[in-house]
Amino acid sequence: MDAITLRCPSCGAPAATDAPNCDHCGARLATAACPKCFHLMFQGSRFCPSCGAEGVEWKGEPASLPCPSCREPMMEGMVGRNRISQCGRCNGMWLGTE
């Protein structure tokens, strides 16, 4: 499998997927799964580096319910007008129905 290279959503510099901060600008880097293809991307990225899908606009606040799979707190975000929640532990992703 090829190594994945992502770009910092703040400055655009190349960054490793396991880097906690950008080496160039110092921005905090956290990965999330693309809502379309599930490829890794940094939270705050506008588009997926793999498929080009619109990224998730994370609210930066916990979701109202814990992960149904592992019971850990989830983060809430928006893809267009759709609310999603993603677990940082098991990487499960759930879509809102309202």
Q: Write the pLDDT tens digit of every residue in 6-36.
A: 888 888 899 887 888 889 988 878 787 888 8
Instruction: Determine how β-strand 57-66 pairs with β-strand 40-42.
Output: unpaired
Same-domain status, 61 and 28: no
Same-domain status, 51 and 68: no
Same-domain status, 63 and 83: yes
Task: Give the pTM.
Answer: 0.52
Give the Cβ contact number of residue 16 at 10 Å.
Answer: 12
Q: How many domains does the chain have?
A: 2
54-92 core/surface letters (b: 16 or more CB in 10 A; e: else): ebbebeeeebeeebeeeeeebbbbebeeeebbbbeeeeb
Residue 1 has a pLDDT of 40
Same-domain status, 60 and 37: no
Same-domain status, 73 and 48: no
Same-domain status, 67 and 82: yes
- 74-98 residue pLDDT tens: 888 877 777 888 887 777 888 876 5
Using 50, 70 and 90 to split pLDDT, how confident is the model at 51? very high
| Integer Cα distance of 54 and 52 in angstroms | 7
Same-domain status, 51 and 61: no
**3-class SS of residue 4:** coil
